[in-house]
């Protein structure tokens, strides 16, 4: 146990995994015949979310690569994860195109500009109905909430199918580790654990 924060630690650590305080030396437990064999490990899973976004699940951590051009991945040890929440919602940002419709009706100098405003509004409504945003919120043991934008996908597309498959895999991986995954699926229905 860490004398500073009171959290349990593995015997081999020299510093606390949570507050980085120096730990007193503790004797390592003797290795018996059963303890000498390494525990079976599962192969890490890399879930392709499309657009070069990846969610990776290993025995030790959950990782998210969200930058289409690369960059460092966000890694969170499973021991720090309290809860996961999957979000799926319509592409509401496209409704901003309705502003052009309003401008076209009230301030447009010509009929052509009014027509373009109307087309922009119709396009915004169509995009809102056709596309969905997906995201994952990772809640840590200290209450910190990390929001990972998993991306946007058209309904019924191959990318949306990849996102559904990633969610199912993540649900299973989280359940094994005693972590709940809440939220709604891409159709707005409550998912498992919600």
pLDDT digits (tens, 9 = 90+) for 126-176: 988 999 988 999 999 998 899 988 888 899 998 888 888 888 888 888 888
167-182 pLDDT, tens digit each: 888 888 888 888 988 8
Summary mean pLDDT of the chain: 78
* DSSP letter assigned to residue 171: H
pLDDT reported for residue 68? 60
pLDDT over 90 for what percent of the chain?
12
pLDDT at 99 (0 to 100): 82
Q: What is the rounded CA–CA span in Å between residue 98 and residue 106? A: 13
Q: What does the pLDDT average to over 63-88?
A: 84
Q: Helices 111-130 and 98-107: crossing angle, nearest 10°?
A: 160
Contact in structure between 124 and 96 (CB atoms under 8 Å)? yes
Q: What is the pLDDT of residue 1?
A: 67
Whether this model's pTM surpasses 0.85: no
Tokens of residue 152, six digits: 């946007």
In degrees rounded to 5, what are phi and psi of residue 43? Answer: -70, 140
| CA–CA separation, 104 and 110 (whole Å) | 9
pLDDT for residue 39 is more than 80: no
* pLDDT mean over 53-66: 86
């Amino acid at each position: 146990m860490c004398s500073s924060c009171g959290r349990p630690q593995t015997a081999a650590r020299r510093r606390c995994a949570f507050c980085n305080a120096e730990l007193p030396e503790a004797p390592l437990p003797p290795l018996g015949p059963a303890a000498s064999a390494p525990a079976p490990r599962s192969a890490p899973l890399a879930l392709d979310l499309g657009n070069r976004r990846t969610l990776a699940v290993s025995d030790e951590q959950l990782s998210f690569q969200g930058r289409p051009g690369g960059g460092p991945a966000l890694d969170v040890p499973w021991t720090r994860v309290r809860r996961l929440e999957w979000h799926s919602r319509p592409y509401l940002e496209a409704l901003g195109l309705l502003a052009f419709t309003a401008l076209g009706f009230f301030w447009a100098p010509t009929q052509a500009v009014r027509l373009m405003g109307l087309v922009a509004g119709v396009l915004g409504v169509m995009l809102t109905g056709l596309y969905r945003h997906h995201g994952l919120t990772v809640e840590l043991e200290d209450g910190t909430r990390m929001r990972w934008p998993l991306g946007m996908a058209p309904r019924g597309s191959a990318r949306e199918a990849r996102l559904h498959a990633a969610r199912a895999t993540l649900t299973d991986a989280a359940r094994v580790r005693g972590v709940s995954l809440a939220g709604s699926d891409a159709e707005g229905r409550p998912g498992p654990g919600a």
